[in-house]
Amino acid sequence: MTVQPKFTQAQPVILDEAPVVLRFAGLFPQNLGKFKMHDERCGGDLDHVDQELSRLNQVLAGEPGWQQQIRGEIA
């Protein structure tokens, strides 16, 4: 038994403009690797990712190498 809803007649959705998604959750040092992997779209199941559109993503915070910088500041 699950509390998750079942979608028995789901229909594909095509949007002219994708919504902005924000997530405010705690991020701990041991999670930085997974966060980086998600950020760079370089691991796990990527079937749901349109690699051609990923190049259009904008980085709104951080610079190249920010994960290493944070680890250095925490250590």
**Quick one: CA torsion of 35, 37, 40, 46, rounded to 10 degrees?**
-120
**Between 15 and 57, where is the model more confident?**
15
**Percent share of the chain, pLDDT over 90:** 0
Is 71 within the bounds of a domain? yes
| Residue 59: inside a domain | no
* Structural domain contains residue 38: yes
- Per-residue pLDDT band for 59 (boundaries 50, 70, 90) equals low
Which region among 8-17, 27-36, 55-64 has the lowest average model confidence (pLDDT)? Answer: 55-64
pLDDT of residue 60: 65
Q: With H, G, I as helix, E, B as strand and everything else as coil, classify residue 24.
A: coil
Give the count of domains, the chain: 1
Global pTM exceeds 0.85: no
Decide if pLDDT at 72 tops 80: yes
Residue 74 lies in a domain: yes
